[in-house]
Structure 1
Amino acid sequence: MPRTGERGGPQTRARIREVANRLFLERGYDAVTVAEVAREAGVSSVTVFNHFPRKEDLFLDRTEDAIELLRSAVRERGAGVDVLASLRETSMRLFDDRQPLSGVDERSAPFFRTVAESSALVARAREIASELQRTLAGELDADPTYTGDGTLFAALFIAGYTAVMLQTARHLLAGAAPGSVVDEHRVRLEQLFDALRNGVASS
């Protein structure tokens, strides 16, 4: 029998996520079972999976947020604003607000370390990148004002943004000063959008 209140909505989900993240960061993703997360959160394993279909989603739980940001960047951009400019605005806003999806919030270093230490999380992160690429390509193909190659643009943007994040992760995990890493992250973001706008100059 489910425990009282364990089928609750957002509050139950938030409690499960908070407990899972704490345990994963303390002990490593692979060392923690879903049953342990459920017990610590005061729910059943079934309830955990009702909210998070895969164990990996307990830690990499912002896919829907990222999808919504991509959709909004395409669908809700202002008149005369092209997709690249809209994506740049969205990315810079994430950076300025130090949102988790920016890769430069205060918890980024332990987050990147936990992912890097788990092959399951690394594999899931790659799947998410592919899902985001397909989402952006689909949005562009459905937008009558976009006349470019949506599949190619989506591949370049997602790959570029991922490359910026990975470089930041490497620097943080190598022990670089967080302030300098944040500054370098912004520079690389600017370089990414310049390259997408103007191309990469040959040497």
Structure 2
Amino acid sequence: MEEPGLRERKKRRTREAIAEAAFALFRESGFDGVSVADIAAAAEVSKPTLFAYFPTKEDLVLRRFINGGRGSAAVVRERPPGTSALRALRQHFLDLLAERNPLTGLNDGPEAVTFHNLLYSTPALMAHLAGYMVDQERDLAAALLDAGEPNDEFTAHLVAAQVFGAQRVLTFHNAQAIRSGRSADDTYPAAVHRAETAFDLLEQGSKR
């Protein structure tokens, strides 16, 4: 009988092999030009095995980047004492920019560039991501409400929507700069300025 650690390592290797095969094919032929059967064959797994790791074709692109990250709701719940929710979310986004996290759009590595090229050229991927973001937005609203920032459910949902809307716009502008040929390092100062401006507006609005 295999030890749990060995089984988990095998699963991780299989997951990575599938994702790498998918990205190689997507980079060459685009999202719509590649079938699930093509990916399974390239990764040398069956289609049922592929779907066990990635329930949809869209997950082959999105899960590589959105899984495992620290969500906005966790940022609010785990913020230092005396730090407002919006201030914690601002600092978290700035930290992600400094780390060149692909989810901020500020990453010029080949996989991140492929990810954003696929994302912004494929309506099905954008729709799938929107569904994921709705769940994250709902979690953030609950965390804001628990923190009493604000104190009513309607406003909490409104603030959460504004936070995710701001982050979506920031990410788009960062990715647009990278896709136009600029490096992440060259784009970083402008990305920080945009983020500070966006969160200034959010904090000012929350005080009205």
TM-score normalised by L of structure 2: 0.82
Q: Are 2:168 and 1:165 equivalent residues in the alignment?
A: no
Aligned to 2:133: 129
How many positions carry a matched residue from both structures? 193
1:172–1:178 Cα contact (<8 Å) kept: yes
Query: 1:60: how far off?
Result: 0.9
> Hey, what's the Cα distance between the residues in 2 that align with 1:92 and 1:113?
23
Aligned to 1:46: 48
Q: What is the alpha-carbon root mean square deviation over aligned residues? A: 2.3
> Hey, what's the Cα distance between the residues in 2 that align with 1:167 and 1:106?
13
* Identity %, equivalent residues: 31
1:63–1:128 Cα contact (<8 Å) kept: no
> Hey, what's the Cα distance between the residues in 1 that align with 2:15 and 2:73?
24
Any unmatched runs of 5+ in structure 1? Answer: none
Higher relative contact order (CA 8 A, sep 6+): 2
SS in 1 for 2:106: coil
Q: Are 2:66 and 1:63 equivalent residues in the alignment?
A: yes
TM-score normalised by L of structure 1: 0.84
Aligned to 1:110: 114
| AA in 2 matched with 1:19 | A
- Structure 1 residues 45 and 28, CA gap change in structure 2 (3 angstroms): same
Aligned to 1:191: 197
> Hey, what's the Cα distance between the residues in 1 that align with 2:51 and 2:200?
42
Query: 1:193: how far off?
Result: 0.9
SS in 2 for 1:171: helix
Q: Deviations over 1:19-56 (max 9, x none)?
A: 21222122211111111111111211111111111110
Aligned to 1:119: 123
Q: Are 2:23 and 1:30 equivalent residues in the alignment?
A: no
- Structure 1 residues 53 and 180, CA gap change in structure 2 (3 angstroms): same
Q: Are 2:78 and 1:72 equivalent residues in the alignment?
A: no
1:84–1:197 Cα contact (<8 Å) kept: yes
